Amino acid sequence: MVSAPVIQLRPATSPARMAPNGKRFFIWTIGCQMNEADSAKVAAMLQEVGYRRTEDENDADIVVLNSCVVRQASEDKVAGKLNALARIKRERPGMPLVLTGCMVTNQQDALRQRFPHVDLFFDPSDFGQLRRVVPELDDLDDDLADLPHYYAPESLGLAGQAGVTAYIPIIYGCNFLCSYCIVPYRRGQETSRPLADIVREVEGLVASGVREVTLLGQTVNAYGRDLPGEGQLPALLRAVDAIPGLERLRFLTSHPKYMSDEIIDTMGELDSTCEHMNLPVQAGDNEILRRMRRTYTRDLWLDRIERSRRVMPGCTVATDIIVGFPGETDAQFQQTYDLLADARCDKVHLAMYSPRPGTLSARWEDDIPQEEKSRRHRAIEALQEEVCTGLNAVRLGTAVEVLVEGRAKGRWTGRTRGNTLVHFDDDRELLGKLVDVHVTRTSPWFLMGEPAGLPR
Ligand code: SAH
Ligand code: SF4
């Protein structure tokens, strides 16, 4: 077994942690990275007041579910999990069951009726509400908002933020109104955090061993537009890049409309910003983009990708696609297919359209049959397999820099600066190290190789 290094994750500014109180918390999260960051914050709050994490809801003293409603399938999963927890609630009625995330709206009556066994529905922008079921939080005198987003040391080795990488929300909400999207209704208007707060949080994380930070927002590159005089994303990137010890800086998700030359050029100029562009296009047909209310054209997206690749040679690209939007004809779908065949993205987050009550497009007929949505989904999956096979094949024989994030199936696993997964064997303790890996095998979804040189 690999023993995790002792990484002290508490920045100097945070309040003193209380002694363990024997209580355990269980957190279940689905959805986007913002939810992961919010769950990490809830975990941090509970750990500060003496709780420990458990992976088994049956022996938890509090259960928190962090929900997503971006598609019907995610909403169904949350409902399924909530119903499954009804048994535990019957056996231990005193155990608080808490629901947060995008399923929670201002009108909670309907939720209360549907899930009467839930003790607290809390809006993810108001962590203080947790005090209603965790009285120990009253003893934390510092503002809860000042607690950083991290997993504390006991969780080292869990998926994701193993103390090596961290997600940091920098802007909440969204000012767009894409016709299919529920997010603005659940997360409100864009609200950027002050630049100095973010820098302080990253400094604390880096001081405790974090080497890669991902700045988060639904429209992360709109950062600062609501903070007159503070400087926007380029200024924040510069300020974070200047923090000694931070190896890698990423940010997601960007909106094509705000992906300015200045942002791309700043990424090219700074050492820590990774050569990776996360830029959802959603569709390749201009008429569909117009009805999606995306406010840009296919050419604008392509132009942003091309500039990124010029400014950052080898820059990888991730995008999001929705297939089966209302009225999407075969020819319009083909535009999306052709765009992806042209652009050769390293990663496509693919979704079948799902009407969300309350959004504009939910008023239009969901007229693409399920089988046709599935067919389009499979067509793009097959295309991506081919594209990614080719993109990774050319990496055979090269050396890639890997930040080691953990172990999976007996191997070390990490990512390149371009966000490609890499697995390799090594008996040494390498968690959190940068390792040059000589690529000896490739697949569409990951690289395998042998370490070369000294870990850093
Ligand atoms: N702010 C990001 C996306 C947030 S939602 C952006 O502007 O791209 C995350 C992804 O879920 C979206 O990119 C979209 O591909 C998908 N999605 C959102 N609403 C959806 C819906 N109604 N049906 C299917 N997929 C949807
Ligand atoms: Fe949703 Fe559009 Fe806002 Fe992204 S930009 S969160 S897709 S409304």
Contact 31, 70 (CB under 8 A): yes
Rg of the Cα trace of the chain?
22
Statement to judge: residues 438 and 328 lie in one domain: no
Q: Which residues contact 112 (CB under 8 A, 6 or more apart)?
A: 118, 121
CATH no. for residue 104?
3.40.50.12160
Q: Which residue has the tokens 């008023």?
A: 363
Domain assignment present for residue 369? The answer is yes
Domain assignment present for residue 5? The answer is no
CATH no. for residue 307?
3.30.750.200
The total domain count for the chain is 4
Q: pLDDT for 232-288, tens place per residue?
A: 999 999 999 999 999 999 999 999 999 999 999 999 999 999 999 999 999 999 999
Q: What span, in angstroms and rounded, lies between the C-alpha atoms of 339 and 302?
A: 8
Domain assignment present for residue 156? The answer is no
CA-219 nearest atom, ligand 1:
1
pTM: 0.91
Statement to judge: residues 257 and 289 lie in one domain: no
Q: Identify the residues whose C-beta falls under 6 Å from ligand 2.
A: 174, 176-178, 181, 183-184, 218-219, 255
Q: Which residue has the tokens 């949080």?
A: 201
Q: Is the dihedral of CA 401, 304, 286, 181 positive or negative?
A: positive
Contact 406, 373 (CB under 8 A): no
Per the structure block, which two tokens stand in for 238?
């510069």
What integer pLDDT is reported at residue 158 of this predicted model? 36
Which of 75, 322, 370 for mutating ligand 1's site (highest number of atoms within 8 Å of CB)? 322
Statement to judge: residues 315 and 434 lie in one domain: no
Tell me what percent of the residues of the chain surpass a pLDDT of 90: 77
Name the domain boundary from 237, 253, 274.
274
Domain assignment present for residue 245? The answer is yes
Domain assignment present for residue 189? The answer is yes
Statement to judge: residues 35 and 128 lie in one domain: yes
Domain assignment present for residue 152? The answer is no
Is the pLDDT score of 183 beyond 70?
Answer: yes
Which of 319, 320, 328, 377 for mutating ligand 1's site (highest number of atoms within 8 Å of CB)? 320
Alpha helices in 169-215 (DSSP H): 183-187, 195-207
Q: Which residues contact 371 (CB under 8 A, 6 or more apart)?
A: none
Q: pLDDT for 94-138, tens place per residue?
A: 999 999 999 998 778 889 999 999 999 998 878 888 999 998 888
Statement to judge: residues 287 and 238 lie in one domain: no
Statement to judge: residues 336 and 223 lie in one domain: no
Name the domain boundary from 93, 111, 146.
146
The residue count of the chain comes to 456
Contact 184, 176 (CB under 8 A): yes
Per the structure block, which two tokens stand in for 210?
């974090």
Residue nearest to atom 2 of ligand 2 (CA): 178
Domain range for 24 is: 15-146
Statement to judge: residues 174 and 126 lie in one domain: no
DSSP of 262-305, one letter per residue?
HHHHHHHH-SSB-SEEE---B-S-HHHHHHTT--S-HHHHHHHH
Is the pLDDT score of 143 beyond 80?
Answer: no
| Three-class secondary structure of residue 165 per DSSP | strand
Is the pLDDT score of 309 beyond 50?
Answer: yes
Average pLDDT over residues 428-454: 96
Phi-psi region of 397 (alpha: psi -120 to 50; beta: other; left: phi over 0): left
Cα(350) to centroid of ligand 1, in Å?
Answer: 9
Q: For 148, phi and psi rounded to 5 degrees?
A: -75, 170
Statement to judge: residues 286 and 355 lie in one domain: yes
DSSP of 102-152, one letter per residue?
TT--S--HHHHHH-TT--EE--TT-GGGGGGT-GGGGG--S-GGGS-S---
Q: Which ligand is nearest to the CA of 349?
A: 1
Name the domain boundary from 274, 306, 325.
274
Is the pLDDT score of 156 beyond 60?
Answer: no
CATH no. for residue 448?
2.40.50.140
What integer pLDDT is reported at residue 146 of this predicted model? 56
Statement to judge: residues 379 and 403 lie in one domain: no
Statement to judge: residues 442 and 359 lie in one domain: no
Domain assignment present for residue 92? The answer is yes
Statement to judge: residues 176 and 128 lie in one domain: no
Domain assignment present for residue 10? The answer is no
Q: What span, in angstroms and rounded, lies between the C-alpha atoms of 99 and 117?
A: 11
Q: pLDDT for 31-77, tens place per residue?
A: 999 998 899 889 888 988 889 999 999 999 999 999 999 999 999 99
Statement to judge: residues 338 and 367 lie in one domain: yes
